[in-house]
A and B are shown apart, each in its own frame.
Chain A
């Protein structure tokens, strides 16, 4: 069993959703994660709030927010157990993040403890 991280990338993190819309997304996200956890495939995860977000650049230049020049932002991630990358991709397909046009879920293998990397 390998571990994969699913990284939620939002096209435009500054877009403000209505509280009702937020509530719908929250339920969908919780149900999606609950479904993975019910298959005993959930490891950990968290949302990444935009408040207090900083970017530290070359020469230690600090800017506010992850936005700056790029519009795309990371809204959170979860780590799952999966037999293969294909299974991890199947999990990712269920993510409510993908309802937003331009949003993506990046699937990456966790190197630690995979028996190949150190």
Chain B
């Protein structure tokens, strides 16, 4: 029973999007709701049937068979009541009994990538694209998406509804975009994958410290883009390099009780050297071409973090990379990380002055940073900032780490 309770959510994450993508391609993007409903109903059936009849020997095959049957039943019903879909389908397959829904690995891979591009259509607002991709292709719950966007369920539901309506209106074929459109369309696709990875890696939305599955799924999709001739471009390689470097610290990032271990307290023998080597490989692949994306800069920063020893060279390099990154794209977290690098490269006093210019007093990481910079200079201020950070911190894991740091200072 326990096994099933864990297996179904796991299968939901990996199979929901495959079924939805294949059905979307099969039925046409205007029937995206039906594709999503059939995929959803398939999992409902599993939840209803498996506890009584026992788990099937091959759960994935069971899900595919049920999804296929539901899709075919749906087509038959539509034929009876409206006859809207089947006349079109009949042109390619004269007898409906022969309708073949292809859930093979190859077709589900192609369908997912093509769906990713369909969803990331320029006519759909970027935020909606991301929400739609997270929902349809990653099987995220509405609540999780709301958390990722720091928004609420109603807003996300409305956004998804509008986005699907847009998709239906555009009514494009589920296919790869034309060559001259690739770069622009790829930008949104990469943002979505990056967000998916971060959702797993930082996971503020729930109390689980690490949702490794999400990260691995994001890496898998990015890798699919790389393996595809049309989409395997430098920024995609840079993004995967970034993901590899971050993921190399999975095992070192938390202790047995699931608490986060900060970078400089990590046991680097637990860092996955295989993933680091992969990251270096993809970063090299990314250096073809002459355009530097934010992913190139972030991957280079992450590369320097795979070298544990503090050297002047390391922190000077990281500082300059952050200087460049912030000129292209500002974010509060990059500004705070830049200030930390500044303290390592130019000294704590300069960093404290710079930190106070950032005007990020509502941000827990701002106070956490000052709690790191002040000890030895002004311990009372350090404790004050750590206390503020604890109050502002959103996740339990963050509060635990901050409290430990504060208690250390008080001793």
Contact, CB under 8 Å: A31 / B357:
no
SS class of chain A's interface: helix, strand, loop or mixed? Answer: helix
Question: In the complex, what's the smallest C-beta–C-beta distance from B365 to chain A, in angstroms?
Answer: 13
> How far, in whole Å, are A38 and B327 apart by their CA atoms in the complex?
8
B residues within 8 A CB of A33?
A: 323, 327
Whether A34 contacts B358 by the Cβ 8 Å rule is: no
Find the A residue at minimum CB distance from B353: A35
Give the distance in Å from the alpha carbon of A99 to the alpha carbon of B326 in the complex.
25
Q: Once the chains are docked, how many angstroms separate the CA of A39 from the CA of B339?
A: 11
**Smallest Cβ-Cβ distance to B337: which chain A residue:** A38
| Max chain B Cβ within 10 angstroms of own Cβ: one of A33, A35, A39, A40 | A35
Cβ-neighbour of B357 out of A30, A39, A42 (below 8 A): A39
Q: Are A30 and B320 in contact (CB under 8 A)?
A: yes
Interface size class of B (residues with CB under 8 A): 10 to 19
Contact with A along B301-334 (1 / 0, CB 8 A): 0000000000000001001101110110010001
Contact bitstring B332-343, A, C-beta under 8 A = 1, else 0: 001100110010
A31-B346, A33-B327 as given contacts; A38 in contact with B338, CB under 8 Å = yes
Task: Answer whether residue A37 sits at the interface, using C-beta atoms and an 8 A cutoff.
Answer: yes
**Most chain B C-beta atoms within 10 Å of own C-beta, residue among A38, A39, A40, A42:** A38
Residues of B374-400 whose CB lies within 8 A of A: none
Q: A30-B323, A31-B319, A31-B342 are in contact. Are A37 and B357 (CB under 8 A)?
A: no
**Category for how many chain A residues contact B:** 10 to 19
- Cross-chain contact B320 with A38 (CB below 8 angstroms): no
Residue in chain B with minimal CB distance to A29: B323
Given A30-B320, A40-B335, A35-B354 contact (CB < 8 Å) = yes
B200 → chain A, closest Cβ, in Å? Answer: 27
| Contact A39–B358 (Cβ < 8 Å) | yes
Q: Are A42 and B327 in contact (CB under 8 A)?
A: yes
Complex interface bits, A14-37 against B, C-beta within 8 A gives 1, otherwise 0: 000000000000010011011101
CB within 8 Å of B: which of A29-66?
30-31, 33-35, 37-40, 42
**Within the assembled complex, what's the spacing in Å between the Cα atoms of A40 and B333?**
12
Structural contact, A31 and B323, CB atoms closer than 8 A? yes
Asked if B404 is an interface residue, CB under 8 A from chain A, the answer is: no
The reply on B359 being an interface residue by CB < 8 A is yes
Q: Write out the residue numbers on chain A whose beta carbons fall within 8 Å of the beta carbon of B342.
A: 31
Contact with A along B276-290 (1 / 0, CB 8 A): 000000000000000
- Sorted nearest first, the 8 A-B pairs with minimum C-beta distance are A34-B323, A37-B326, A38-B335, A40-B330, A37-B327, A30-B323, A38-B338, A38-B326
A-B contacts, 8 of them at CB < 8 A, read A31-B319, A34-B323, A34-B338, A37-B323, A37-B326, A37-B330, A38-B335, A38-B357
Chain B contacts to A: CB under 8 angstroms: 316, 319-320, 322-324, 326-327, 330, 334-335, 338-339, 342, 346, 354, 357-359
- Residues of A that sit less than 8 Å from B by CB: 27, 30-31, 33-35, 37-40, 42
